[in-house]
Structure 1
Amino acid sequence: MKKPILSYKKYVLASLLLSYFTSCSNTKFLEEGEFLYTGADLEIISDSLSKADKKILKENVEQNIIPKPNSSILGLRPKLYIYNITKEPKKEKGLRNWLKYKIGEKPVLLSDVDLEFNKDIIENYSENKGYFNAKASADTITKNKKAKVEYILKPKERYLISQVHFPNDTTTVVNKEISKTKRRSLLRPNKPFDLDIIKAERERIDNRMKENGFYFFHPDNIIVQADSTVSNNHKVELFVKLKESTPAIAKEQYMIDKVVVFPDYNLRGTRRGDYSVPMNIDSLDQYDTGKFYMIDKNKKFKSKVFDRTLYFKSGELYNRKDHNLTLNRLVNLGVFKFVKNEFIITDSINNKFDAYYLLTPREFQSLRLEVLGRTNSANYGGGEVNLNWTHRNFMKGAEQLKASLFGAVDVQLGGPKDANNIFRAGFNTQLSIPRIVAPFRFNSSSEFVPRTNINLGYEYLSRTQLYTLHNFSTSFGYVWKENARKEHDLKVIDVTLVTPENVTEKYFNQIYDEFGNIKNPTLKRVVEKQLIFGPRYSYTYTTTMLPRTNTMFYKGSVDLSANLTGLFTGANVEKGKQKEIFNIPFSQFAKMEHDVRFYHKLSNKSSIAARFIGGIAYPYGNSEYIPFSKQFFVGGSNSIRSFRARTLGPGSYDPRNQNSSFFFDQAGDIKLELNAEWRTNIYKFLNFAVFADAGNIWLINDEPTLPGGKFTKDFVDEIALGAGLGVRLDFSILILRLDLAMPLRIPYYEKGDRWTFDKIKFSEKEWRKDNLIFNIAIGYPF
């Protein structure tokens, strides 16, 4: 026992010495009379404040004290040390310049601290939060060429709001409208006086006014006066008023006269002619739709595009909701590079203006070539080529037609199995129409344009020495958003047809034994003809775009196949009544999946992310099994990273017992997965992560060739667990992710011996080869 304790003492002593000498090294670079600023302490002295109020006030005030000291890690200041030991560079570029000014950090000195300025900040912030007549003092403490500042804040009792008064003069329209906003005021009696809340109240009133025709109104037109003399009980009375200096134009409600759309406008006024605003539309080649005027002499757009996009109508009051809604929908059409909006007063007596929409189209057609290289944890490496063509105004109604051709090759780079290279080629096309094409009426007042999507695709897949598959797919459906958080994706019909070809004797030998009996039905189902058709729906809810400490993402999906067809035909595979369409047994199943993600922001540079996935696919009627393409898989760079892609499960099945001469994917009907990551930024584009993944897949029906694969009450004991470290290189245009993981719990080991802590052998090459899984991927895993 003495040896470990001695080693521990040496480690602690070495750390203390390193900290001491590094600190001394930084201060020795200071000139005579200079002190290294190490930060500020704030003490709040008040008998009237609770501990919770003191804590909140202290945290907020400290954020406003400047400057901030040099960054430190465990008392050390490595960035400052790098700055000090790096000589002054002779050039503005180069390694020395990068070390000193990019990696290094200039020393923050006591002379950089303005005590009077900080005292004013502390007092002003306190008063803005209702602590009137607060007093602040400061004292500097120096020692060994280091200095810190101690601030003392003595706030008085916090003032509360006693009453809030809105304008009583309702003879003018503007005051009447301001008074109407009182019901939802942010200023409430018995709430603390807070200048930030008062500013938010002015913004709220401005928003309400702009919803009622006051286009030229501004938050600065509102003044909130505070009177603290009406009470001796630390109460303040607030008076919400319209400023006397408010311009006359801001007091008037404005009405829409004409709506003019120019969908082929050039901001530079070169190719398409230089048109000034307001336009004399009578002198132009214009089209009157009855709702708006459209000026498009080259007839590039149909008027119905804007009929569904513009929310302003002639003769109605201006309101900002319709204003923003129209602009957002025009942007979301995806066909315009610039969207510009102007309002021009045409009748100052009756307070009318024209609304102009000056729209500059993007290039309608684009062609993009992508060449990708990749490798994965299943010992495959390869590349892919994609040729993508897009037409953004296919039928002059902002319809987007996308077509892509692709080809890919994956070569097995190593591993104990025979090489089986994979070749893929095919095409995908999608026609996206910016409206709901349906026999029923669909109303969407969202800022996002609803779309009807029609897809058609084909993929040729060849696994050399094994088989070839032809995969045909088509779908018709709708995508629409209620708002930025909620999205719906409904495929009314989604059809997939898979037909096999060139199944080799080598592959058949893995399916059948020497007597012609099926020994591996899983491999047999891979090369069976498949016909899948039915509706599919998914719902997405996310708050990840909001500047919050806690955000979430949820996606739930339901996938149905041949439910009505199976019902009407009386299909029942268990009773020998399996039905066919075009001599192909159609698949009948119901599948559901839920993906929930949670993100917690610890600081500006670090966060915690977690994800849970749960899914089940149930075959019935015409099907005994779920089609291979619709099953669940785990393992790989975006799943449980300590296991190679699609090699884990189902259940406690041991893939090492495969008597096949090649690897085949492990699939399941039930999936449970939980992932967690701690993410932090180290330096600019360099990010670091620590992660843990857990989960597995299972089968609904017992499969003799996959012993242990069926879902049972003991499923918890079959959960796989892995952990690892990751480096993420964030280059803005893409994030390159490098993850190194190892299994901590392996479900196909013997019961009671599934944890691997006692089996870790970093020094052995064979162990590292089998247990350290390196993943390279683009983007975050979740």
Structure 2
Amino acid sequence: MIFYSCSIVKKVPDNKQLLTKNAVVTNDTVVKNERIESLISQKPNGKLLGFPLRLGLYNIAKDNPDSLYYAWLNRKPNRRENLAKIISNKQVDRLSQSFLVSGLSRFLKKTGEAPVVIDPIKINTTKNKLQGYYNNQGYFDTKVTSKIDSVGLKKAKVTYLVSTGEASFIDSISRRIETPELDSLFLKNQKRSLIKIGDQFNDEKFDAERTRITNYFRNNGVYDFQVNHVRYDVITNEKNKNIDIVYDIENRKIKRGDTLVKTPFKIYKISQVNIFTNSALKKLRSKISDSVSYNNYNIYSIGKLNYKPKAITDAIFIEKGRYFSDKDKTLTSRSLSNLKVFNFPNIEYVVDTTSGNENNLIANIYLIPLKKKNLNASIDFNHSNIQDFGITGNLSLTFRNLFRRAETLEISTRGNIGSSRDLPNPNGTFFNLSEYGADVKLTFPRIFLPFKTTAIIKKDMLPTTQMSFGLTNQRNIGLDKENFTSIINYNWLPKDDTTIRFDLLNIQFVRNLNIDNYFNVYNSSYNRLNDLAQVYNSNTAYLDPTTGNLTNTGAVFFIEDVINGNIPINNQSNDYNSIRSIGERRKRLIENNLIVSSAFTYNKNTKKGFLDNTFYAIKTKIETAGNFASLIAKQVKEPESDNGNQTIFGIEYAQYVKGEVDLIKHWDLGKKNILAFRTFGGIAIPYGNANSIPFSRSYFAGGSNDNRGWQAYSLGPGSSGGINDFNEANLKIAASVEYRFNIVGKINGGLFADAGNIWNIFDNVEDESYTFNGIKSLKDIALGTGIGLRYDFDFFVFRIDFGYKTYNPAKEESERWFRDINFSRTVLNFGINYPF
């Protein structure tokens, strides 16, 4: 309290006052919104949790610390000489610039913030801004005054008093448009006007109307029209405050000699479209040696034309005979860039002087090809909980315009070698684990199908087709896997903020190469099984003679003995169910997986730019697997598996339907305060040839992007307590809310609450603590809360979140709330960028 009340004004000059607060009172009502606050020219010192921390740091700093040092040094006659005997006379002088003498004060001043002293000039500037703001809202008689109220020693607040008077409303709208063609265009689109009779005057609407008219004209042939050509005459009636609006669009002014001459606007049509495929320089036109005319397009090339004409013209929306349109130009630029074989195109329009029609334009499109081949290589050194030291290398080669129709082929390889002390290493090899893989991706800038789709998916939706194939091989990592993937998908953009993806075929085959390593990977399952074996196992062959614990092979035999009744355990007991559950989970996770699926994904994001913090994003996906595989299995008629299921190449294929919805909403609260909300729901239902969902398609809970009160894979299913190493299920419900705020500079904070869980439903799991059993199971929804710190590097955000288990459904109902909120049980989460 002493520090706050005394030192806060320590460096405020006499006869000056520290600004502590601003208030805007409009017509006797206090106004608090970001738009009004942005008009105030002078803001109080920033605060952290109500305290001006940076001002306090600034006040701690000494003024002229080097002068104070020399005053101290010369205060006693022999002080300099005595000090020089120890560190030399030169070092005595250098001490004045040391961190302890001057550097600390410089750091505090730089980090801190000088006191904001009330400035009458800035008060007048704010008054003028407020008056201008309310004038633009239609309050033409606005008067703004200010007063300064003392609130303590050298402290005061400033109040701005605004009296708006009566608002002015639009009484009539007329027009004065000199070019007859523009007048006709205006009348055709007048119903879309943003300015209506009876509306209160609002200057922002007039600006938006200028933009609307300009866009409309420029998309209907008026090439020379600019936004400053739209003007308004505002006529005010002093008696009733109503106003009359007159649109005033004069003919354009062009310079002829030394004089400006008014000339009517023209409506232009496109008479030619010329495409230069390998030059953006006009002076190189003389070197053109190849050309072709195709569908009213003229295509030119220096050297042999390396593109099929249709590949280029399909990406161009500027057409001969159509009116000039900015929209067509923008679509053409986007579409040509989307081919990924050219740099951003240069499009120019020139008046056609050869056609005899002054209202014709020639469109010239200049393209610079990207390199046909591009090689990229990278290397990373890493450390993780799997490997103590690892080296990862990537090599990728890109071929553009592969078949002369703007196709792109990408071939990439990757490899990793690592060292782990936790793995068996009888030969003493330093790099005792490895992973390598290769991917091939072929992209077509169109829908690649044997039939036409342009009636549904138009070319302005920028459709693409991707075919990709990948192979990965792991050694000494987990169960050692071979993973093969093959995907054919289609992508298009029906709107600027909407993306649709359709996976026609997605094949994934996973083969486990080292199933004997299962209990080394899933330690929790092994430990539970080993504890039960100490009670029930009587076969010493299953044990390691040195430790007395189950061997990996013995653990498998012990499970089989229990299930087959060779070891007498009550099959209704919890111990029996636990052993059976471990066995079933092991059998499921060591099985080779074949997934043949199709999926449809819809993604909409209304965020307008990087600084837009009021938006929503929604993603929905529906996926089915096994139907195509079922047709093949019926034809090949291979033997059934031990489980009685159909197989392809001796492998059971997965069959399920899966649907999920992910919704994100952000609200900008002003002053760098943001409220973010997310909710997710997903379910995967096995049927036909399967009674469970493959691990790679199941859901998990917990982690830095989910419920931050639990580590990844450690929450659920249901109230089971996350007893497995990797807990997953086929139903998930989750919701999160986060309040984000600025602390100082680029350091931000966050308060969050994450709720949700996973459950088993419609599969082969029967334990009620794992399964979703209607509304009563909603009591199993876990709640994690906490606080986070974030540092904004501009291009990404580094995040640390401290999560706590506020409501833990794994505990007894009387002990679920607040039992885990203490520092010793903090769940630390690191992340890059925000979780949603």
Does the 8 Å CA contact 1:340/1:357 hold for their aligned counterparts?
yes
Structure 2 residue ranges without an equivalent (≥5): 67-96, 255-261, 423-431, 518-550, 564-579
1:160 is the counterpart of 2:221 = no
Residues 290 and 174 of structure 1: CA distance in aligned 2, closer, same or farther (over 3 Å): same
Counterpart pick for 2:646 among 554, 566, 579: 579
Instruction: Summarize the Cα distance change of 1:743–1:154 in structure 2 as closer, same or farther, 3 Å threshold.
Output: closer
More deviation, 384-393/180-189 = 384-393
**Is the 1:166–1:178 Cα contact (8 Å) retained in structure 2?**
no
Q: Deviations over 1:450-485 (max 9, x none)?
A: 110101011223456x73322111011201111222
Tell me the equivalent position of 2:270.
256
Alignment pair present for 1:562 and 2:568: no
Q: Distance in 2 between matches of 1:335 and 1:95?
A: 54
Matched letter for residue 351 of structure 2 = I
Q: How many residues align?
A: 723
Alignment partners' CA distance in 1, 2:51 and 2:805: 35
Q: Say whether 1:23 aligns with 2:8.
A: yes
| Cα separation, partners in 2 of 1:178 and 1:474, compared to 1, 3 Å | same
**What residue is the counterpart of 1:535 in the other structure?**
598
Q: Distance in 2 between matches of 1:166 and 1:145?
A: 58
Is 2:571 the partner of 1:522?
Answer: no
Alignment of 1:406-485 (within 5 A): 406-408=414-416, 424-443=435-454, 444-445=457-458, 449-463=462-476, 467-485=479-497
Q: Are the equivalent residues in 2 in contact too, given 1:160–1:191 (CA < 8 A)?
A: yes
In structure 1, how many angstroms separate the alpha carbons of the residues matched to 2:679 and 2:209? 40
Q: Aligned equivalents of 2:585 and 2:285: distance in 1?
A: 73
**CA shift for structure 1 position 33:** 4.3
- SS state of the match for residue 215, structure 2? helix
The answer as to whether partners of 1:539 and 1:556 remain within 8 angstroms in 2 is yes
Which residue type is aligned with residue 42 of structure 1?
V
Structure 2 letter corresponding to 1:25: K
Amino acid at match of 1:311: F
CA separation of 1:371/1:22 partners in 2, compared to 1, >3 Å: closer, same or farther?
Answer: same
- Equivalent position amino acid for 1:173 in 2: E
- Indicate the larger mover: 148-157 or 582-591: 148-157
Unmatched runs of 5 consecutive residues or more in structure 1: 1-15, 267-273, 415-420, 763-767
In structure 2, relative to structure 1, the CA distance for the partners of 1:388 and 1:89 (3 Å cut) is farther
Find the aligned partners of 2:710 and 2:20 in 1 and give their Cα distance: 47
Counterpart-to-counterpart distance in 1, 2:502 and 2:763: 33
- Show the counterpart of 1:42: 24
Q: Which amino acid aligns with 1:566?
A: S
Alignment of 1:606-685 (within 5 A): 606-656=673-723, 663=725, 665-685=726-746
Q: Which residue of 2 aligns with 1:236?
A: 243
Task: Write the distance in 1 (CA, Å) between the matches of 2:397 and 2:788.
Answer: 36
Deviation at 1:149, TM superposition (A): 3.9
- Does residue 1:131 correspond to 2:195, yes or no? no
Q: Answer yes or no: is the 8 Å Cα contact 2:616–2:663 preserved in 1.
A: yes
Residue in structure 2 matched with residue 3 of structure 1 by the alignment: none
Q: State the Cα distance separating 1:65 from its structure 2 match.
A: 3.0
C-alpha distance in structure 2 between counterparts of 1:260 and 1:102, whole Å: 58
Q: CA deviation at 1:627?
A: 1.9
Larger radius of gyration: 2
Note if contact 1:511-1:521 (Cα within 8 Å) is conserved in structure 2: no
Residue of structure 1 in register with 2:800 after alignment: 738
Question: Per the alignment, do residues 236 and 436 of structure 1 end up closer, same or farther by CA in structure 2, a change over 3 Å counting?
Answer: same
1:332 aligns with 2:338: yes
Can you list the C-alpha shifts for 1:30-71, whole angstroms capped at 9, x where unaligned?
Answer: 2x444434454333348xxxx6xx848x87555323233332
Aligned partner letter, 1:545: K
The CA distance in 1 between the partners of 2:51 and 2:816, in whole Å, is: 42
Partner of 1:729: 791
Q: State the Cα distance separating 1:251 from its structure 2 match.
A: 0.9
What is the one-letter code of the residue matched to 2:198?
A: N
> What TM-score do the two structures reach when normalised by structure 2?
0.78
Q: 1:165 to 1:98 in 2, by over 3 A?
A: farther
Would the aligned equivalents of 2:702 and 2:709 in 1 still touch at CA under 8 Å? yes
Deviation at 1:223, TM superposition (A): 1.5
- 1:308 is the counterpart of 2:314: yes
1:369 aligns with 2:362: no
Residues in 2 aligned to 1:463 and 1:603: alpha-carbon distance in whole angstroms? 52
Counterpart residue type for residue 26 of structure 2: I
Residue identity opposite 2:516 in structure 1: T
Using a 3 Å threshold, how does the CA distance of structure 1 residues 95 and 485 change in structure 2: closer, same or farther?
farther
Relative to 1, partners in 2 of residues 1:471 and 1:64: Cα closer, same or farther, differing over 3 Å?
same
Alignment of 1:747-758 (within 5 A): 747-755=809-817, 757-758=818-819
1:513 is aligned to 2:563: no
Structure 1 residues 208-357: aligned runs within 5 Å: 208-229=216-237, 232-243=239-250, 246-247=253-254, 251-265=265-279, 274-276=281-283, 285-298=290-303, 299-347=305-353, 349-357=357-365
Q: 2-side partners of 1:780 and 1:245: how far apart?
A: 50
- Residues 1:489 and 2:501 are matched in the alignment: yes
> Does 2:211 match 1:183?
no
Shift of 1:135: 2.4
State how far apart, in whole Å, the 2-side matches of 1:495 and 1:596 are. 28
Name the SS of the counterpart of 2:608 in structure 1.
coil
8 A Cα contact 2:138 2:202, kept in partner: yes
Q: For residue 615 of structure 2, what is the amino acid of its counterpart?
A: T
Q: For residue 367 of structure 1, what is the amino acid of its counterpart?
A: N
Name the residue aligned to 1:417.
none
Change (3 A) 1:315 1:536: same
Cα distance between partner residues in 2 of 1:573 and 1:157: 85
Measured after TM superposition, the shift of residue 393 of structure 1 is 1.2
AA matched with 2:439: N
Contact 1:331 1:339 in 2 (8 A): yes
Aligned counterparts of 2:553 and 2:277: Cα–Cα separation in 1: 61
Give a deviation string over 1:265-295, Cα, whole Å, max 9, x none.
36xxxxxxx534xx86796543332432233
Amino acid at match of 2:506: D
Supply the RMSD in Å over aligned alpha carbons: 3.5
State the alpha-carbon separation in 1 of the partners of residues 182 and 739 from structure 2: 53
Asked whether the equivalents of residues 214 and 250 of structure 1 are also in contact (C-alpha less than 8 Å), the reply is no
The SS at the match of 2:334 is helix
Task: Return the alpha-carbon distance in structure 1 between the equivalents of residues 175 and 769 of structure 2.
Answer: 73
Mean Cα displacement is larger for which, 603-612 or 742-751?
Answer: 742-751
CA pair 121-446 structure 1, distance change in 2 beyond 3 A: farther
Q: How far 1:705 moved relative to its partner?
A: 9.1
* Residues 232/668 of structure 1: CA separation in 2 closer, same or farther (3 Å cut): same
Distance across 2 between alignment mates of 1:372 and 1:397: 39
Q: Give the secondary structure class of the aligned counterpart of 1:113.
A: helix
Cα offset, 1:608, TM superposition: 1.9
Distance 1:700 1:237 in 2: 67
- Mean CA deviation greater in 217-226 or 739-748: 739-748
**How far apart are 1:508 and its partner, in Å?**
5.1
Partner of 2:202: 194
Q: Are the structure 2 counterparts of residues 65 and 752 from structure 1 closer, same or farther at C-alpha, using a change threshold of 3 Å? A: closer
Residues 609-643 of structure 1: CA deviation (Å, up to 9, x unaligned): 22222111111111122222221122222222222
C-alpha distance 530-350 of structure 1, shift in aligned 2 (>3 A): same
Secondary structure, counterpart of 1:189 in structure 2: coil
SS in 2 for 1:480: strand
TM-score (norm 1): 0.83
Residues in 2 aligned to 1:605 and 1:69: alpha-carbon distance in whole angstroms: 16
Q: Indicate conservation of the 8 Å contact 1:44/1:154, yes or no.
A: yes
SS at match of 2:9: helix
Q: How far off its partner does 1:139 sit?
A: 4.0
- C-alpha distance in 2 between matches for 1:749 and 1:649: 12
2-side partners of 1:744 and 1:75: how far apart? 27
For residue 493 of structure 1, report the CA deviation from its aligned partner.
0.9
8 Å contact from structure 1 (residues 393, 400) kept in 2: yes
